[in-house]
Structure 1
């Protein structure tokens, strides 16, 4: 049974008394779901890398020790690589070694770019300066097709708009096609 036809005990009013209930004061009751929960983070304990523990450790020495273990466990190529790096660092500063490597990489990249450009120039028959006589125009795949350009002589009638359904071009075509 619906409650739509029943009278309300307190008629609806505007303002703070909307909804038919009168509010006499703020409620003293509240839900436990409205309370703030999880208001603090869980602190780290000893052995969980606290700030004090991290400040006491020497991370650089630990990293170098792990690298030594790694390179000593691998084959000789790793040891040779490590020795080569040390010799580069002993010859000059680290920046000088990186500059040398970067210069070599740049030179290799420039040489590769020049080679690619020369290859492209040789491959393009329009720009090929060395052998200008070998250029020949290729035919299109549809040059020898039998039914090519059949509508060349016919003129296409432009479509026109007539705001009368009986006199329109569509209606006339329809009558010619289906009502002969």
Structure 2
């Protein structure tokens, strides 16, 4: 039987947990509890197998990504991005043709490379990634230029429509038409020159004569001059 002193010494040295019931070998030394997480041989073997499996999976993913990351794929992605761009820009077409030449050059270099040179393929992969990033930057720049050009044309069309609408409104107003002709005075009506007419306050007063004769007065003379002669 283990004495309480032995169990207390074991707990103080952290050889056994305080709440664990362990079978100790009295007289020959302390016994150890075989629990999960104590680093047994089986656990170490399983841990090594897991690390090896993870390394193999990482290597497979790297090899798989390297094989698919070719210049043909980059050119295909370039063609897909081209579909979303507007057509008709000569400068953008020249840039695209230049980018295609660069992509075809790297495509030929990838076809002629030796598949056994693993270290060389790593450097080629990094170069291809740099070229792909450069191609994507060029495409983004082209799209931005196209978008700015489209917005500028829309703004010009909007201003032209506003000017046309303003001209139509001005042409439909008779007052503005007379001002454009150089005279803002309204045309006199046919009945302005009558005897009993309320004259405008702003119109200058004309000195009138009184002739007690319906034939020789001023109105009769004006009437004869206007309609008889």
- TM-score, normalised by the number of residues in structure 2: 0.21
Q: Which of 1 and 2 has greater Rg? A: 2
| RCO higher in structure (CA 8 A, sep ≥6) | 2
Q: Which has the higher helix share?
A: 2
- TM-score, normalised by the number of residues in structure 1: 0.25
